Structure 1
Amino acid sequence: MKFPKRYAIVLLTFLCTNVCYIERMGFSIAYTAAADSIGVNQSSKGMILSTFYYGYVLSQIPGGWAAQSVGGRRILLLSFLLWSLTCALVPLDPSRISVLVMARLLVGIAQGFIFPSIHTVLAQWVPPHERSRSVSLTTSGMYLGAAAGMLLLPSIVKHRGPQSVFLVEAGLGISWCVLWYKFASDPPHLDHPKSTGLPITKSKEKGSLMHPAKIPWKKMILSMPVWAIVVNNFTFHYSLYVLMNWLPTYFELGLQLSLQEMGSSKMLPYLNMFVFSNLGGVIADHLITRRLLSVSWSRKLLNSIGFVVSALALLVLPLFKTSAGTVLCSSVSLGFLALGRAGFAVNHLDIAPKHAGIVMGVSNTAGTLAGIIGVGLTGRILEMAKATDVNLSSPDSWKPVFFIPAYLCIFSSLIFLIFSGGERIFE
């Protein structure tokens, strides 16, 4: 039996997100080691680490427009090549702050084009009954990449030095570019009658070209199903980035535990996200294919279960005084958040298959802003808590840190339940 080309495309997009998150985790690990070795202060470290997200948020909507206008396949290759070469050529010297700021800004801008491009490609290749598991598999690469980075890269830094991480990341990125260039292509329209992405037409002069429809900006802005996706993307990334950035500090200060003593258990939340992301996709496609639920109600069900259970786990997390309890709660919370992606994250392709990259760019902009807002707000909350708990050793001081994303999850699930849709609304 011939291996369907669309499966190869989905597998390559999975590897794409995997490598991207290895790069993000790798820079944080390598730069922190290099900066600590020469005594860089926390303020400077924070500026360098956050620069990526400022570049990332700038290119989300332009990335959706470029993917629709030029082609997701081409933009994905160019953006991947750009950040890979940046990693290969830029020296990791913490004393050269301006060079690192420009490099991280450039990497952020380049990677901002990736997810809108992926959604444009998947809208072209993947038929409706396979969308949930295809998008879930693709996005689960993020969590597997984060887990792999946490497990493997510290050893590379220890034995080969921080700069070696940049070279490993560049090697992975360029290797993926070679695979994408060799195996990816635009789908012939007639071979994919069930695919509802951008149409492919023939041109005598230029061969196979895309002719995307005009972007209905006003209709998108006024669309409540679009806003339901945006709100849930914001909440998902607020919760994810707060836990990713502040949970290690909670272990060390709130629970008085050493991260080194935890071993591989700190990987469990990300591995759980990988498992539950794919599980959600399989469940959603099963519900839709067997006609047990409509597309709309399948998305609502998975989104609601994912976000509500995640909220409950966050609400009880501060009650545990041990690492095992905290790891369990954070794993449940992040795992069910990933399950919820089978709701809001796939919904781009349901309501706007021809403009999936644009809608993804808009919602991912909100998601990136959520990370910037959430991480910064959490720092201010903890500074205020120091007035009564100087060492932040009481879990009670951390309750607002976990309660805010919990309340956001409940609110967002209600918004999606009321306003989301499953039918195509943009032609």
Structure 2
Amino acid sequence: MRRVKFPKRYLIVILTFICTCVCYVERVGFSIAYTVAADAAGVSQSSKGTILSTFYYGYACSQVPGGWAAQKIGGRRVLLLSFLLWSLTCALIPLDPNRVMILVMARLFVGVAQGFIFPSIHTVLAQWVPPHERSRSVSLTMSGMYLGAATGMLVLPSLVKFRGPQSVFVAEAALGAVWSMLWFKYASDPPPSGFGESLLPIKGSQKLKVENGGNSVRTAKIPWKKILVSLPVWAIVVNNFTFHYALYVLMNWLPTYFEQGLQLSLQEMGSSKMLPYLNMFIFSNIGGVIADHLITKRIMSVTKTRKFLNTIGFMVASLALMALPMFRTSGGAVFFSSLALGFLALGRAGFAVNHMDVAPRYAGIVMGVSNTAGTLAGIIGVDLTGQLLEAAKNANSDLSSPETWRAVFFIPGLLCIFSSFVFLLFSTGERIFD
């Protein structure tokens, strides 16, 4: 029988999927482990919010530099280096809520290191993946975030219970080391003929230098001004901000909402606590398959496909977010958080893939710009939520009241409505940068 050759670009996509999965195991893992350690040490809610948001300050600083570095020296190399740095930090830093400065510096450094990852991934995928496979490839890669979060929510509370909060750091460092070895062994730059970005026409001023059997470095000047004043880019930026505001608030504060808002134990909730993130994993891939089907079958144009999926995803998510604090049972909270996160993930087939539509050559750069906005959302949303809860606690001394949590979930709900209209008005699926 003839052997069926497994295309290298599929292996690249699978490895980037595992990459995002491991990254989000780390992020969820820290929020779970730190919440347990901080509560045991009597840390206030506002202080918890500050520590939880520290990661995003470092993350914001390295988004645009990450896109620039991936553009200049290659996403493959930048991705490996960033993974090694944050894994090593997790292995060396103790989780002690009383050693605030060390914890802050460690989270800042992990944030900086992980900030290079997603711009690098978009650069790699833009080079390896042809246009007709982009929606499902990006959706599969990004769905790793949600599978990682789901896995973390399922496994790590038990790990904390039996081995202590520090064990989470050890497990995360080990996962990072294993992925780094896989990437070092199997990843490579695309061949000179290319698959995605390098198949596009290149102007005379955009020279390529080919070294070491097809390692291409682009010397074209990055059109920073055109990127920063582009309305379609700003439509992506606004939606990235809203998506990550909702995601990071739920990721960092759902454990507190279950434990203190609903008086539920994460250990006793069993597998149900992972359903919101599992739903994101499923809906993200559904969105990618639907988008590629609509585009390749010419049912809708690229522009209409992006707007359709983005609007459906964000509008349903907004309704679910605003309904979430009204339901006080475990089943109700899990259902509406799952609905909200699932349809937000569906919306990624709109705005998130749009980086490669409008700027395939500079996908890492545009991703860096928009992900900076998403990271600012993490800083603002996570810290603001801590302030809201601390203020409510000082006024009512009761975090189990639904009124305490209403503003927490209404803010991202209203942002979803606003962002969907911005994307409808200003986005495009056409290439606007050469």
- Which category of TM-score, normalised to the shorter sequence, fits these structures? over 0.9
CA deviation after TM superposition for structure 1 residue 284, in Å = 0.3
CA distance in 2, matches of 1:364, 1:121: 16
> 2:425 is aligned with what amino acid?
I
Superposed CA RMSD in Å reads 2.4
Counterpart contact for 1:128–1:195, Cα < 8 Å: no
Q: What is residue 5 of structure 1 aligned with on the other side?
A: 8
Describe how 1:370-381 pairs up with structure 2 within 5 A: 370-381=377-388
Distance change >3 Å, CA 243–CA 96, structure 1 → 2: closer
Question: Aligned pair 1:144/2:147, yes or no?
Answer: yes
Q: How many residue pairs are counted as aligned between the two chains? A: 427
CA distance in 2, matches of 1:35, 1:384: 19
Describe how 1:223-262 pairs up with structure 2 within 5 A: 223-262=230-269
CA deviation after TM superposition for structure 1 residue 150, in Å = 1.5
CA deviation after TM superposition for structure 1 residue 248, in Å = 3.7
Q: What is residue 119 of structure 1 aligned with on the other side?
A: 122
Encode CA deviations 1:369-399: one digit per residue, 9 max, x unaligned: 1121122333343455457744244324433
Q: Among residues 410, 425, 429, which one is paired with 1:422 in the alignment?
A: 429
Q: Among residues 69, 78, 81, which one is paired with 1:78 in the alignment?
A: 81
Distance change >3 Å, CA 143–CA 298, structure 1 → 2: same
CA distance in 2, matches of 1:371, 1:204: 40
Distance change >3 Å, CA 197–CA 7, structure 1 → 2: farther
Bigger mean CA offset, 196-205 vs 107-116: 196-205
> 1:326 is aligned with what amino acid?
A
Q: Among residues 363, 383, 387, which one is paired with 2:370 in the alignment?
A: 363
Distance change >3 Å, CA 114–CA 376, structure 1 → 2: same
Encode CA deviations 1:103-150: one digit per residue, 9 max, x unaligned: 221111000000000000000000111111111111111111111111
> 2:366 is aligned with what amino acid?
V
Corresponding residue SS for 1:405: helix
> 2:269 is aligned with what amino acid?
M
CA deviation after TM superposition for structure 1 residue 268, in Å = 0.8
Bigger mean CA offset, 150-159 vs 322-331: 150-159
CA deviation after TM superposition for structure 1 residue 212, in Å = 4.3
Bigger mean CA offset, 160-169 vs 408-417: 160-169
Distance change >3 Å, CA 174–CA 95, structure 1 → 2: same
CA distance in 2, matches of 1:32, 1:174: 25
> 2:293 is aligned with what amino acid?
H
Q: What is residue 92 of structure 1 aligned with on the other side?
A: 95
CA deviation after TM superposition for structure 1 residue 311, in Å = 1.0
Distance change >3 Å, CA 46–CA 418, structure 1 → 2: closer
Bigger mean CA offset, 170-179 vs 85-94: 85-94
Bigger mean CA offset, 345-354 vs 153-162: 153-162
Counterpart contact for 1:126–1:195, Cα < 8 Å: no
Corresponding residue SS for 1:321: coil
Corresponding residue SS for 2:351: coil
Counterpart contact for 1:198–1:211, Cα < 8 Å: no
Describe how 1:8-407 pairs up with structure 2 within 5 A: 8-37=11-40, 39=42, 44-192=47-195, 196=199, 201=208, 203=210, 208-385=215-392, 389-407=396-414
Counterpart contact for 1:127–1:195, Cα < 8 Å: no
Distance change >3 Å, CA 197–CA 40, structure 1 → 2: farther
Bigger mean CA offset, 163-172 vs 31-40: 31-40
Counterpart contact for 2:392–2:398, Cα < 8 Å: no
Encode CA deviations 1:54-78: one digit per residue, 9 max, x unaligned: 1111101110111101111110011
Encode CA deviations 1:229-261: one digit per residue, 9 max, x unaligned: 000000101111222233343344544444444
> 2:286 is aligned with what amino acid?
L
Encode CA deviations 1:206-243: one digit per residue, 9 max, x unaligned: 96331142111111111110000000000101111222
Encode CA deviations 1:144-167: one digit per residue, 9 max, x unaligned: 111111111233233333333222
> 1:162 is aligned with what amino acid?
P
CA deviation after TM superposition for structure 1 residue 99, in Å = 2.6
> 1:4 is aligned with what amino acid?
P
Bigger mean CA offset, 62-71 vs 211-220: 211-220
Encode CA deviations 1:10-43: one digit per residue, 9 max, x unaligned: 0000000011111122223333444455555555
Corresponding residue SS for 2:193: helix
TM-score when normalising by structure 2: 0.91
Corresponding residue SS for 2:380: helix
CA deviation after TM superposition for structure 1 residue 356, in Å = 0.5
Corresponding residue SS for 2:346: helix
Encode CA deviations 1:268-303: one digit per residue, 9 max, x unaligned: 111100100011000000111111111111111110
Counterpart contact for 1:198–1:212, Cα < 8 Å: no
> 1:266 is aligned with what amino acid?
K
Counterpart contact for 2:157–2:266, Cα < 8 Å: no
CA distance in 2, matches of 1:193, 1:332: 33
CA deviation after TM superposition for structure 1 residue 319, in Å = 3.1
CA distance in 1, matches of 2:259, 2:161: 22
Q: Percent identity?
A: 74
